[in-house]
């Protein structure tokens, strides 16, 4: 059984997003370990990019801080190599197609497999163009994780049928960021997903409180949180790992 499947087996998964290198790579490593220790089931590692079109101001700021600090894709690969000496839960990269293209798709994806990355999320890759990367992902056993948005409508079934790893359901229109309430009819989206695939689905974008996480996990297979974690890291800097750990525990307890 793949690590991603294992993360969703018999439980609701809590997925934490962290931008690599914000404020530095040592802090990122400590945050990942604290998140795992406190119940995170899967980690999304953001590879910083200069134009992160899916991100709101919070994660844009994290990207900028990481890039200004000199973070590169190779340094992120080294970070994952080091994390994999003891981190057991699945880790996936969330980045942009340009990052993979400019590195060289084959080299990027084969390195992912070599260092223990389980999947790849590319928010700017349209479903219809995923064949650009799919064969290489299959060649190296890296799941290419699809996203479903509220605007996917009649494409939901098609995307779900070909899903691998897990399906990332975007809760709201717009970019990432915490929201006071989520008003999308997510139940009907999840219903179509369930009718077309056994691949688990998790909901992200806008989730920040235990109550929201529980509500999202109740209708899907898990909750994804990014901006709320990045805010904690921005506030506490190098002292963030313990604070992120406390937050992850609270969120995981809420969805159990």
Element (DSSP H or E) covering residue 143: strand 143-145
Mean pLDDT of 76-99: 97
Query: Beta strand pairing status for 91-94 and 119-121?
Result: parallel
Mean pLDDT of 201-205: 95
Report residue 44 as tokens: 């999304």
The sheet carrying 91-94 orders its strands as 143-145, 119-121, 91-94, 42-46, 13-19, 222-225, 201-204, 167-170, 147-148
Segments making up each domain of the chain, as ranges: 3-255
Tell me whether residue 121 is exposed, middle or buried, using C-beta atoms within 10 angstroms of its C-beta: 0 to 12, 13 to 18, 19 or more: buried
Q: What is the pLDDT of residues 15-28, one digit of tens each?
A: 999 999 999 999 99
CATH top-level class of 3-255: alpha beta
The answer on pLDDT for 174 being more than 60 is no
57: number of Cβ within 10 Å: 11
The answer on pLDDT for 186 being more than 70 is yes
Mean pLDDT of 66-76: 97
The answer on pLDDT for 177 being more than 60 is no
Query: What's phi and psi for 105, nearest 5 deg?
Result: -55, -50
Q: How far apart are the C-alpha atoms of 112 and 235, rounded to whole Å? A: 31
């Amino acid at each position: 059984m793949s690590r991603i499947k294992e993360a969703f087996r018999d439980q609701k998964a809590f997925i934490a997003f962290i931008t690599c290198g914000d404020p530095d790579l040592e802090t990122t490593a400590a945050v990942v370990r604290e998140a795992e220790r406190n119940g995170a089931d899967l980690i999304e590692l953001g590879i910083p990019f200069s134009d992160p079109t899916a991100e709101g101001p919070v994660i844009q700021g994290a990207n900028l801080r990481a890039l200004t600090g000199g973070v590169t894709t190779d340094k992120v690969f080294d970070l994952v190599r080091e994390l994999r000496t003891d981190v057991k839960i699945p880790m996936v990269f969330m980045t942009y197609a340009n990052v993979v293209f400019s590195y060289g798709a084959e080299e990027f994806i084969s390195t992912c497999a070599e260092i223990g990355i389980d999947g790849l999320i590319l928010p700017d890759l349209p479903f219809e163009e995923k064949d650009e990367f799919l064969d290489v992902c299959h060649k190296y056993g890296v799941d290419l994780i699809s996203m479903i948005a509220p605007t996917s409508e009649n494409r939901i079934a098609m995307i779900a049928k070909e899903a691998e790893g897990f399906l990332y359901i975007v809760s709201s229109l717009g970019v990432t960021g915490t929201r006071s309430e989520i008003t999308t009819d997510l139940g009907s989206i999840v219903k179509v997903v369930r009718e077309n695939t056994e691949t688990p689905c998790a909901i992200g974008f806008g989730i920040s409180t235990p109550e929201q996480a529980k509500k999202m996990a109740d209708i899907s297979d898990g909750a994804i949180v990014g901006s709320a974690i990045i805010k904690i890291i921005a506030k506490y800097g190098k002292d963030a790992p313990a604070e992120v750990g406390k937050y992850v525990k609270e969120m995981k307890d809420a969805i159990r």
